[in-house]
Amino acid sequence: MNDYATLTIGEKTLKLPVIIGTEGEKAVDIRGLRQETGFITYDPGFANTGSCKSAITFMDGEKGILRYRGIPIEQLAEESSFVETSYLVINGKLPTPEELTRTSVMLNDHSLVHEDMQIFYQNFPRASHPMGILSAMVNALRSFYPELMNTDEGFEITFLRLLSKVRTLAAMSYKISRGHKVIYPRPDYTYCANFLHMMFDSPVKPYVLDRDLVKALNVFWILHADHEQNCSTAAVRTVGSGRANIYASLSAGIAALWGPLHGGANQKVIEMLTDIHEKGLRVSDLVARAKDKKDPYRLMGFGHRVYKTYDPRAKIMKQVCDTVLSKMEIKDPLLDIAKQLEEIALSDSYFIDHNLYPNVDFYSGILLRAMGIPLNMFTVMFAIGRLPGWIAQWKENLDDPDQKITRPRQIYTGQNQADYLPMALRKKS
């Protein structure tokens, strides 16, 4: 027997179906609301609106739970690799040993990019942000690889091509920005090892891989592989709903991720910590400012739109960050400041009452900094990690028979109908 919610508007009463997800999440189906009543809902930011049904990622913000295809993020971070997790997110199941080997081989086979793409890089102004460049380059991939056969094999090749080439494009952009020779991937390296190799190897100083750094990068990307219907994922689905190709859809996702309230948050954390260190500011004074409702000052890296307890990814990232800094014997003053802020946030009643716990961005910036990743590449690193989630969400949206082109409504608050006023009758401003 179906459950219903009752809505009364004036003298009219509607029975609206209640949809229940596999984890007990409940939603009121309002698809017939406007047609039957003339009313729409008003929900800025869509915080209370479910735009789709999805089998990819489950989040429980109150309990601090994150799972990909049912598997807890803690288990994946400990046991899996980014390639295996990507396969899980995109295909809906963990790969067999043969499938994982085949995927790894194909990622290496598709890791080269057309030499003509280097010309694009050289024509971007030197001050261009890597995220803007990456968004444009991913869109440009469509010109080099226009085919997308509507078969499982065709989709697989396209998805693996994107996962592999975006990683290469990111490393290439870093090398070109520094005027260094582009380094190509090695067939004997894993996905994450190859990225570090392409970023930091040089003809005069060969890069020596460190297993702990490779593991740290795997974990970083696993933690970012998907996160339900966030801003950039919603952008990918929205563009894809118009049946735009996957390159254009991912390009839109990258542009959405660029914002400081989304993917750019880890960069803002480092900028905040750097500002505190260089200016010799007192952490206690800044905390007091952050708690003052009349002061616009904001501490970056605290709180989350969905998580109302400790971000489960932040716990894992903190452990990885501690391991890397200890292994590399890095004494980073920014980490000391970060630990002071964390200690306050976990004990101060204001932060606890307002659910302002450290989030994943709080620690990921320190980790990337310790690995030698330049600040303006932080959001690019996020984008590489989020690729499998975007791909899976785009494909799921394409296959969902209930999905239509995204077309939100609005509440018009402008001027009522007015007649056109000829120029001669208009007063000077």
pLDDT tens-place values along the chain, 429 residues long: 468 999 999 888 999 999 999 999 999 999 999 999 999 999 999 989 999 999 999 999 889 999 999 999 999 999 999 999 999 999 999 999 999 999 999 999 999 888 888 888 878 887 888 899 999 999 999 888 876 656 677 888 999 999 999 999 999 888 888 888 889 899 999 999 999 999 999 989 999 999 999 999 999 999 999 999 999 999 999 999 999 999 999 999 999 999 988 998 888 999 999 999 999 999 989 999 989 989 999 899 888 888 888 889 999 999 998 899 888 887 778 888 988 888 888 888 998 888 888 889 888 988 999 899 999 999 999 999 999 999 999 999 999 999 999 999 999 999 999 999 999 888 876
The reply to whether 180 belongs to the active site is no
Q: Identify the helix (H) or strand (E) that includes residue 68.
A: strand 65-68
Say how far apart CA 280 and CA 277 lie, in whole Å.
5
pLDDT for res 1: 46
User: What letter does residue 92 receive in the DSSP assignment?
Assistant: S
In the structure encoding, which two tokens stand for residue 339, read together?
């630990």
Q: What is the pLDDT of residue 429?
A: 64
* CA dihedral for 73, 74, 77, 81, sign (positive or negative): negative
Domains present along the chain, CATH in parentheses: 4-60 (2.20.28)
Q: Compute and round to an integer the Cα radius of gyration of the chain.
A: 24
Among 110, 201, 304, 311, the active-site one is 304
Can 304 be counted among the known catalytic residues?
A: yes
Nearest of 47, 147, 61, 160 to residue 102 by alpha carbon: 160
Pick the catalytic residue from 361, 399, 402, 419: 361
Give the global pTM. 0.92
| pLDDT score for 150 | 67
